[in-house]
Amino acid sequence: MAYILIPVLIILMGLVAYSLIKGIVAFLKTTKIDLETGEGSTATDMQLAQNKAMFARIKYQGLAIVVVAILLAVSR
């Protein structure tokens, strides 16, 4: 069972890192747009992308925690 769950955990960790980087890039673009235009209302698309990426990160982190809990339960 651990042979299946460890690769799943590694994939989930990669997805967490990917989502985090994607969210940070969206945040930086939002900040850049806000600085260039002087308005916060023009960056709503980037803010939505940032929220979407961060929600995905939380989802993948939760799944990774579940996999770790299963690994701990199986190893006992």
Which amino acid is located at 63 in the chain?
L
Q: Does the pLDDT of residue 1 top 90, yes or no?
A: no
8 CA to centre of own chain: 16
Q: pLDDT tens, 38-60?
A: 665 555 777 788 888 899 999 99
Q: What is the value of pTM for the model shown?
A: 0.76
Q: Does the pLDDT of residue 62 top 80, yes or no?
A: yes
Supply the range of the domain harboring residue 52: 2-75
User: What is the count of structural domains for the chain?
Assistant: 1
Q: How far apart are CA 12 and CA 27, in angstroms?
A: 22
**Integer distance in angstroms from the first to the last C-alpha of the chain?**
13
Q: 18: part of which helix (H) or strand (E)?
A: helix 2-37
Q: pLDDT tens, 6-29?
A: 999 999 999 999 999 998 888 888
What pLDDT is attached to residue 67? 95
Q: How far apart are CA 69 and CA 35, in angstroms?
A: 44
